[in-house]
Amino acid sequence: MQAIMETAFDAAYLLTVLCIGITMIRKSRGNSQYLLFGVMAVTLGAGDAFHLIPRAYALCTVGLENAAAALGIGKLITSITMTVFYVLLYFVWRVRYRVQGKRGLTLAMFLLAAVRVLLCLFPQNAWLSPDAPVSWGILRNLPFAAMGILVIVLFMRSVKRTGDRAYRFMGLTIILSFACYIPVVLFADRIPLVGMLMIPKTCAYVWTILIGYLDMKHQAASERRP
């Protein structure tokens, strides 16, 4: 039953974000904000596919314990693409709110992303092992969490300052995703049931993507009105 339900959920998720992302890229029509959002959605879906597809295959065939290497490589790729996701989201913020300058902020974002990717590449992560150390899971997620906090603060401040109703829940979606993700990093190895939090985490990311997509549709509808 787990194999069927989880595979169906993951397939629906991947198809949703990839289709939305491709649609936004095709219909961005020179709007850099929506183009960035589309690339962001495709990056999210494509990156997660490297982990979710091997996981679905393992659940339906050999079992998760016999697919540690494939799942580990998938997690590594997903970790890197999620880092790219937040860098792109940062630039969505800059474009949407017409932010100029702030080179130090941009440098901080790139520096955190570089540290995160570098930490992911250390062999001590033991990606191919079924018993990867939790300590390295925490370490590599510290700069990732810092990136998330930075983006949350930036969006929430800008939404409050501009009264941007379309993006009013953007900060909340990121807060929810991290609130579900952090317990998984810390406790999932000892308490497997905690892994269920990946479902609301995934839903939070879909919500993030939908915010940009619905805003694009609303903008297109406004332009068609006489």
pLDDT of residue 226: 61
User: What confidence score (pLDDT) does residue 209 get?
Assistant: 96
Cβ-based burial of 30 (10 A; exposed 0-12, middle 13-18, buried ≥19): exposed
| Per-residue confidence (pLDDT) for residue 220, from 0 to 100 | 81
Q: Compute the residue count for the chain.
A: 226
> Which CA distances in Å does 195 have to 6, 188, 190, 192?
12, 5, 10, 6
Query: What does the alpha-carbon distance between residue 154 and residue 170 come to, in Å, rounded to a whole number?
Result: 10
C-alpha distances (whole Å) from 95 to each of 37, 71, 125 are 11, 36, 35
CATH 3.40.50.720 corresponds to the domain 2-224:
no
In the prediction, which pLDDT does 84 show? 97
| pLDDT score at 219 | 87
Please report the pLDDT score of residue 225 as a whole number. Answer: 64
The pLDDT of residue 113: 97
Domain-by-domain residue ranges, the chain? 2-224
Q: Average pLDDT by consecutive 10-residue portion of the chain (226 residues)?
A: 82 95 92 94 95 86 80 93 97 95 94 97 91 89 96 96 94 95 84 85 95 92 70
Contact 210, 40 (CB under 8 A): no
pLDDT the model gives residue 191: 80
